[in-house]
Amino acid sequence: MKVILINPPGGYYASRWEETALPSLGLGYLASYLQQAGVSCEILDAHALRWNLGDLRRHLKDSRPDIVGVTMTTENRFEGFGAVRAARAALPKAMVIAGGPHVSAAAEDTLSHIPELDIVVRGEGEETLLDLAQGVESPGRIPGISHREDGKIVHNPDRPYIKDLDRLPFPARNLMPMEKYGYLADVPGEGKLPAQNIMASRGCPFNCSFCASPKMWGRRYRARSTENVMEEIDELVNRWGARALWVFDDTFTIDRKRTLAICDEIAGKFPFLRWFCEIRVDTVDLELLAAMKRAGCFCVAFGVESGSQRVIDESVGKQIRLEQVRQTMDWCRRLDLMYNPFIILSHPGETEEDARKTMELVRECKADGASVSMAIMHIYPGTRIESIAYEKGILPRDFSWASRSDARRAPMLPAAQGKVPVFLDQLSWEFLSRCLFEWAEMQKYSVWRRIPKALAGTRSLSDVKRYWTMFRTYIAGARS
């Protein structure tokens, strides 16, 4: 049995992050788990290799694997579907599988519209893929998959999440083109340092309206032991030359005691290492942030989503207070620790008054010198926002995530926001454009360099109207 796992051309991340090239930890974990069980496996990162679908087909024909697995997010789903079709064309008799965040939440839609696909692996995939590769059970008996039986789509029961993450081998970075990534973390006072990524836990117990992560990793927080995490950090530093780390956990600081233990270990063993992570403002205090800073943390990111407490409470469901946000900002300021708030515009029911409060908070953060991330609300399958979008008619009731023609019926801004529908409710496009341009000016972000991509990504008359409104708003703001 031979398995090839594919990161499709175009990459795993949104187009706005296309320069952030990092290994796919998901594919790395799948490959190492298969190898540990004696299954031959190859990782093919077509994006990092700059391969097109023709290159992919030729390689698959030469390699002749029994199973081809393609990972995909909602941002790159069409590239993922293209890789699935390329695999089927090259290998008519192979088992073609899709996994990843998008298909985990949209298995029915994907199988309904992509006939070249045999199986969707939902959620955590290590044990499920191994069952498929070993052929111990027929697909009808394997938990965690969606497939077809007698022409009908069948969703097998969910597979329980892996409780003990320490039993998973580290991602198979040796199977990836590590020399092709070259991600550099820009650390204040030290310049750009070679960086690698790591995931120290899985699962998020919180319930934000827009987040699709629980569909992939579940709501139960599961953490690797401090010893296991440190072993992987040692490998990243001594084998792969990392001098900085991007911690991919949804929230690194959920378990305070464990976070302090990891910080103590990093400070003692790798005092030169710099790292950044995502936190929640209700999971940190001054002592914890100080320990993280001493251990080399140079930046923390956290979701704020809105400067309106009403929106946070009624629309987001984040269960934080703006007082906690400002307190965390103050602690970071006192520690000389960079912070990166995440902001979203166009929540359900958000008014211009709410959005103005958000922009006031953005200006407050920028006065501190913070980098602020801002986006219009995205609609992801399986989220509460998706349900609201159907209720409000923002997405047509018969909308398919797998149809390019349907994508033209949903509001999108591929050049700026990725190939994901945006949630446009009460705020006008002109008002949203003014907010985005104000943010871009504060970030010293060049709007003009996005124009060629915007024009290339225009798919419908609605796109033209939205971009024209943005252009008029930008010119009006420049003149004033």
183-199 confidence digits (pLDDT tens): 999 999 999 999 999 99
Q: What is the pLDDT of residue 28?
A: 98
Three-class DSSP labels, the chain? CEEEEEECCCCCCCHHHCCCCCCCHHHHHHHHHHHHCCCEEEEEEHHHHCCCHHHHHHHHHHHCCCEEEEECCCCCHHHHHHHHHHHHHHCCCCEEEEECHHHHHCHHHHHHHCCCCCEEECCCCHHHHHHHHHCCCCHHHCCCEEEEECCEEEECCCCCCCCCHHHCCCCCHHHCCHHHCCCEEEECCCEEEEEEEECCEECCCCCCCCCCHHHHHCCCCEECCHHHHHHHHHHHHHCCCCCEEEECCCCCCCCHHHHHHHHHHHHHHCCCCEEEEEECCCCCCHHHHHHHHHCCEEEEEEEEECCCHHHHHHHHCCCCCHHHHHHHHHHHHHHCCEEEEEEEECCCCCCHHHHHHHHHHHHHHHHCCCCCEEEECECCCCCHHHHHHHHHCCCCCCCCCCCHHHHCCCCCEHHHHECCCECCCCCCHHHHHHHHHHHHHHCCCCCHHHHHHHHHCCCCHHHHHHHHHHHHHHHHHHHC
Beta strands at 184-187 and 191-198: parallel, antiparallel or unpaired? antiparallel
How many domains, the chain? 1
- The pLDDT of residue 16 is above 50: no
- The tokens of 364 are what? 């407050």
- The tokens of 456 are what? 């290339």
Q: What is the pLDDT of residue 448?
A: 56
What range defines the domain where residue 114 resides?
2-155
The model's pLDDT over 292-339, given as tens digits with 9 standing for 90+, comes to: 999 999 999 999 999 999 999 999 999 999 999 999 999 999 999 999
Question: Is 417 inside any structural domain?
Answer: no
What average pLDDT does range 158-186 have in this prediction?
A: 95
Q: What is the pLDDT of residue 441?
A: 86
What number of CA atoms fall less than 13 Å from residue 264's CA on the CB side? 9
Question: Is 397 inside any structural domain?
Answer: no
Supply angle C-alpha 401, 378, 121, rounded to 5: 45
Give bridge partners of residue 99 from the DSSP assignment: 71
Question: Is 72 inside any structural domain?
Answer: yes
Check residues 462 and 25 and name the one with the higher pLDDT: 25
Task: Categorise residue 284: left if φ over 0, alpha if ψ from -120 to 50, beta otherwise.
Answer: beta
Give bridge partners of residue 341 from the DSSP assignment: 302
The model's pLDDT over 261-278, given as tens digits with 9 standing for 90+, comes to: 999 999 999 999 999 999
Q: What is the pLDDT of residue 450?
A: 60
What average pLDDT does range 143-164 have in this prediction?
A: 96
- The pLDDT of residue 474 is above 90: no
Using the structure block, give the residue that is written with the tokens 């190939």: 419
pTM to 2 decimal places: 0.93
Question: Is 205 inside any structural domain?
Answer: no
Measured between alpha carbons, how far is residue 33 from residues 61, 75, 133, 197, 236 in Å?
A: 25, 26, 11, 18, 18
Neighbours of 118 (CB within 10 A): 21
Average model confidence (pLDDT) across the chain? 91
Q: How far apart are CA 297 and CA 291, in angstroms?
A: 9
- The CATH code of the domain that includes 126 is 3.40.50.280
Neighbours of 460 (CB within 10 A): 15
The model's pLDDT over 427-466, given as tens digits with 9 standing for 90+, comes to: 998 999 899 889 988 887 666 556 556 555 666 666 677 6
- The pLDDT of residue 146 is above 60: yes
- The pLDDT of residue 113 is above 60: yes
Question: Is 307 inside any structural domain?
Answer: no
Question: Is 343 inside any structural domain?
Answer: no
